Amino acid sequence: MSNQNEYSLADRHLVTAVLRGDHSAFGIIIKQTERLVAQMTFKMISSPGDRKDIAQDVYLKVFRNLPGFKFQSKLSTWIGQITYNTCLNYLRKKKLVLSDNLGKDGELPEDCTSEDAENGTEEILFGKELAGILNSEIEQLKPLYKMLVSLYHQEELSYAEIAEITSLPEGTVKSYIFRARRILKENILLKYKRNEL
Amino acid sequence: MITAHLTETEIQLYVAEPQAISRQLAAHVEGCALCRAKVDNYVSLFKQIQEAPKPTFDFDLKALVLEQLPAPKMAFPWAAILITALATALIAVSAVFFWSGIVVLIKEVSGVLLAVAATGAVVIVGFQVIELLKEHQKRMDTLLTQKTLQL
């Protein structure tokens, strides 16, 4: 049996149990998807108090809408979609920026010639130092970039799965992730240089 | 060999999806110190992002959510009631029709035989209950241990 069928079967077992009134089955769903929801809310929402409200809101929406879940995607992907939309609504209400000035959609980012490339040099990023500044540099990225990079590199989702969660075209997801990583690398290199001076 | 350096996008592709890079570009990276350094930086960056600590909630999300869920609505057991009513009616009708025979049977059958029959019935029901519990436990264990929704 393929992995997809196994996922689907397990999803069906859990959803059926919840719809029959088994709350412990819903507890299993929460435990199995909590990491994804945490990853997304931490990257998109800066206030810890709001994250708590949003995470609860996500699962209450999941519970309410579960009878309408059609198994056209993995349950976790569907929960990811609900999380993304809930975070998006929160950011809109708070009039916070999510995705403006992110560049052209669907195209891989244009390459600018950096000073280093013109000089024919590139600083080398060392593991320990990089680990030290990486987190703060990731935090400087726009919420959408942060989330996309985390979903791809930490949760190891495919471009297609991320596209499904965010309802963005796959090409756009790819382009944003490339751009985010380039910004991240350039910012880290800049910090290296500043530290060296 | 291509002499122009790889673009940032090509460098990222070289690291993330090497199969998407042409042989000529790959050959350039092998022989170019600048592109090699850029590749090494992205390799290092990807590794560090992957190994960065993953965020976790500092509260019990499951408990918080479960306590807010509405109590499950118990469906009225129409089927069970219907079957019970039919069975009761059948037994009552049988008792009326075969009452004289039943009285004779009870009088003739010894107390020991009745006790054996009753014990047998209790044992069978007991085994069925144990089987049901085992099956339920097995299903719950399967759901708990399967990496069903992990990504």
Question: What confidence tier does B103 reach under pLDDT thresholds 50, 70, 90?
Answer: confident
In a domain, B109, yes or no: yes
Q: How confident is the model at residue B3 (pLDDT cuts 50, 70, 90)?
A: confident
User: Which residues lie below 8 Å from residue A17, measured CB to CB, with a gap of 6+?
Assistant: A25, B143
DSSP state of B20: G
What local confidence, expressed as pLDDT, does residue B114 receive?
79
Residues of B in contact with A6 (CB under 8 A): 146, 148
Touching check for A139 and chain B: CB below 8 Å? no
Distance (Å, rounded) from C-alpha B13 to C-alpha B8?
9
pLDDT computed for residue A122 by the predictor: 62
| Contact in structure between A105 and A172 (CB atoms under 8 Å) | yes
Distance, CA of B45 to CA of B58 (rounded, Å) = 28
Residues B140 and B94 in one domain: yes
Q: What is the pLDDT of residues A147-181, one digit of tens each?
A: 999 999 999 999 999 999 999 999 999 999 999 99
Q: How far apart are CA B148 and CA A9, in angstroms?
A: 9
Q: What mean pLDDT, rounded, does chain B reach? A: 85
Instruction: Judge if ipTM > 0.85.
Output: no
pLDDT above 80 (res B106)? no
Most confident among A111-120, A152-161, B12-21, B105-114 (mean pLDDT) = A152-161
A120 touches chain B (CB under 8 A): yes
Measured CA to CA in angstroms, residue A86 lies from A61, A90, A136 at distances of 9, 6, 25
Is B18 domain-assigned? yes
Residue B47 sits in which domain range? 8-51
Q: Which domains does chain A have, with CATH numbers?
A: 3-93 (1.10.1740.10), 115-196 (1.10.10.10)
Please tell me the predicted confidence (pLDDT) of residue A106: 47
pTM of the model: 0.70
Number of domains in chain B: 2
How do residues B134-147 score in pLDDT, each as one tens digit? 988 877 776 666 54
Interval A7-66: pLDDT, tens: 678 899 999 999 988 999 999 999 999 999 999 999 999 899 899 999 999 999 999 999
Segment A97-123 shows an average pLDDT of 52
- B126 shares a domain with B84: yes
- What type of residue sits at position A125? L
Three-class secondary structure of residue A153 per DSSP = helix
Nearest CA in chain A to B136: A17
Residues 18-47 of B with CB under 8 A from A: 34, 37-38, 40-42, 44-47
Tell me which residue of A36, A146, A33 sits closest to A97, measured CA to CA.
Answer: A146
How many residues belong to chain A? 197
Query: Is residue B100 included in any domain, yes or no?
Result: yes
Q: Report the chain A residue with the minimal C-alpha distance to residue B64.
A: A56
Q: Tell me how far the alpha carbon of residue A20 is from its chain's centroid.
A: 32
Q: Counting runs of H as helices and runs of E as strands, what totals does chain B give? A: 7, 0
The nearest CA of chain A is from the CA of B22 a distance in Å of 17
CA-CA distance, A131 to B47, in Å (whole number)? Answer: 10
Same domain as B84, residue B44:
no
Collapsing DSSP to helix, strand or coil, A167 comes out as: coil
Give the count of alpha carbons within 13 A of A178, CB side only: 27
Interface of A with B in 18-77 (CB under 8 A): 20-39, 42-43, 48, 51-52, 55-56, 59-60, 63, 74-76
Q: Could you give the maximum distance between any two Cα atoms of chain B, in Å?
A: 109
Gap from A189 CA to chain B (nearest CA, Å)? 10
Q: How many CB pairs under 8 A join A and B?
A: 150
Whether chain B has a CB inside 8 Å of the CB on A115: the answer is: no
Lowest mean pLDDT among A47-56, A126-135, B24-33, B78-87: A126-135
